[in-house]
Structure 1
Amino acid sequence: MIQQVTTQDFPELTDVWEASVRATHHFLTEADIQYFRPLILEQYLYAVDLACVKDEAGKITGFIGVADGKIEMLFIHPAARGQGIGKALLQYAIIEKGATSVDVNEQNEQAVGFYLHSGFRVTGRCETDSLGKPFPLLFMELGFKIL
């Protein structure tokens, strides 16, 4: 189910990124999306170890990017949400790539809830994103639930 990504997949990944962002990142303006889109395609995808899920037709429905034990990106196409793709990609990142941390836009409440439900806990906060833009980040670490 989880597949590696090639550079030929980058345009499709970028399309999935944009569709996902438009569905979940309501705090971004159109100008913000247009600013980030070329960065995703030309820089950010190259900086991470990528894996994806494709549907029966071979279309990418979701992807994850990990670097140095940190989840740097996890995006699911809106039409594929609720099918367990995010959970499968997250489990892959944790088990296969050793991912234990993630930075999440605080204003993306769905993502914050997803990571909290998946066993992550908030360990810190910053008023701006990594580019200094006014999008607060929550720093999250994988915690261990005591039964």
Structure 2
Amino acid sequence: MIRAFKEEDTEAVIRIWLEASILSHSFIDKAYWEEKADAMRTLYLPLSEVVVDEDKDTGEVVAFIAFVEDYLAALFVAPAHQKKGVGSRLLALAKKMRDTLELSVYAENERAVAFYRKNGFRMTDKRIEEMTGHTELLMVFP
């Protein structure tokens, strides 16, 4: 069930973000993500509009999206729930919630790049992300 984020979802969202980030970004040291967890909790989540997806059987939060205006700051699915349509369902909702969506994704995260391209996003630019030194693709929908 997709619903608005509640404060009590914070730790589940942080866990999903951390596990999925480490899995999807193996080209970046795990410690980088672990060091960012507190900023996610205290800075990024409070500044964002967050929507979560709960497992229909267990009620456990298994995925989330986060917006800052028209910027899709996050779309993360717990590793055990990936490749089951959860991310596609959340992205479809994001497209309904915003006329335009912008995002950035690491070029080396080929699975995510392909996912966004398959869902109608196009690359508008690329840049070197300052904190990691890795290339990010800037993408937009439509």
Deviations 1:63-88 (A, max 9, x none): 00011111000000010011111011
Gaps of at least 5 residues in structure 1 are: none
3-state DSSP of counterpart to 1:75: strand
2:90 corresponds to which residue?
Answer: 89
3-state DSSP of counterpart to 2:140: strand
3-state DSSP of counterpart to 2:28: coil
Residues 128, 136 of structure 1: 8 Å contact kept = yes
3-state DSSP of counterpart to 1:43: helix
2:22 corresponds to which residue?
Answer: 22
1:34 corresponds to which residue?
Answer: 34
Deviations 1:101-125 (A, max 9, x none): 1111112111111100000010100
Report the Cα offset of residue 93 of structure 1.
0.9
Residues 71, 99 of structure 1: 8 Å contact kept = no
Matched, 1:133 2:132: yes
| Larger displacement relative to structure 2 (37-46 or 72-81) | 37-46
3-state DSSP of counterpart to 1:107: coil
Alignment root-mean-square deviation, CA: 1.3
3-state DSSP of counterpart to 2:45: helix
1:68 corresponds to which residue?
Answer: 69
Report the Cα offset of residue 58 of structure 1.
1.2
Percent identical pairs in the alignment equals 25
TM-score by length of 2: 0.93
- Map 1:94-113; keep pairs closer than 5 Å: 94-113=95-114
TM-score by length of 1: 0.90
Report the Cα offset of residue 135 of structure 1.
2.3
Q: Which residue identity does 1:22 align to in structure 2? A: I
Residues 93, 99 of structure 1: 8 Å contact kept = no
Give structure 1 regions of 4+ aligned residues with deviation exceeding 3 angstroms. none
Residues 54, 62 of structure 1: 8 Å contact kept = yes
1:52 corresponds to which residue?
Answer: 52
